[in-house]
Amino acid sequence: MSPLTADQARTFLAATRGHRLEALYVVAITLGLRQGEVLALKWDDVDFDAGLLHVRRALQRVDGEYELVETKTAKSRRSLALGSTAHAALRDHRVRQLSERLAAGSGWQAGWNLIFCTKSGHPLHGPSVTLEFQRLLQEFGLPRQRFHDLRHACATLLLSQGVELKIIQEILGHSTIAVTANTYSHVMEERKVDAAARMDTIFSRPGKR
């Protein structure tokens, strides 16, 4: 697992500013959603006033047809606080999508009400989203990633900022805190070293004069 570092993530988001799927990348990095979850988001799932995003379902393709299904566990159904970065990106995306909706006219598929969709309102094809993501990484000179690695980037960045493991479990929607701890044990080891160094700063002996 080699997710984007903080500097690489900043570079990527800065480089994709204005891209049609900019907000999708922002949400994936800052909130750690699974690809199926982010592609299933509806505008009804966003509460701009309260600053919340509700994760309720996932997008699946069954026998060539797209379906919105419930998340696989109760823990996966969660409400997440929107930071200012994600909040602004979603607002800009809504304006951009309105222009596309007007251009599509009667061809717009209003029934889906998806946040991230094609220019006609249909669900996005997951593998195509991944290919575009990887194309952009290559264009900007960043290491190749799976789309799922954006979820790992979110978790490792939160851990590096000292966010509690329990909070990260709830953000990611893991079934238990053990899953989170086992998945990011390598980062936890780094945090232990940092904790030891911080303790040393408290109890270090004063220098001799």
CA pair distance 85, 135, nearest whole angstrom = 23
Strand pairing class (52-55; 78-81): antiparallel
For all residues of the chain together, what is the average pLDDT?
A: 90
Interval 73-118: pLDDT, tens: 888 899 999 999 999 999 999 999 999 999 999 999 989 999 999 9
Lookup: tokens for 201: 């700063």
184, 195 contact by CB (below 8 A): no
Write down all domains in the chain, each with its CATH number in brackets.
6-203 (1.10.443.10)
Lookup: tokens for 90: 């979603």
CA pair distance 170, 133, nearest whole angstrom = 26
User: What is residue 188's predicted lDDT score, i.e. its pLDDT?
Assistant: 63
- Label residue 161 by pLDDT band (50, 70, 90): confident
**Mean pLDDT of the 60-77 span:** 89
More confident residue, 175 or 91: 91
What is the DSSP-derived secondary structure letter of residue 77? S
More confident residue, 62 or 89: 89
Report the 3 state secondary structure along 107-166.
Answer: HCCCCCCECCECCCCCECCHHHHHHHHHHHHHHCCCCCCCCCHHHHHHHHHHHHCCCCHH
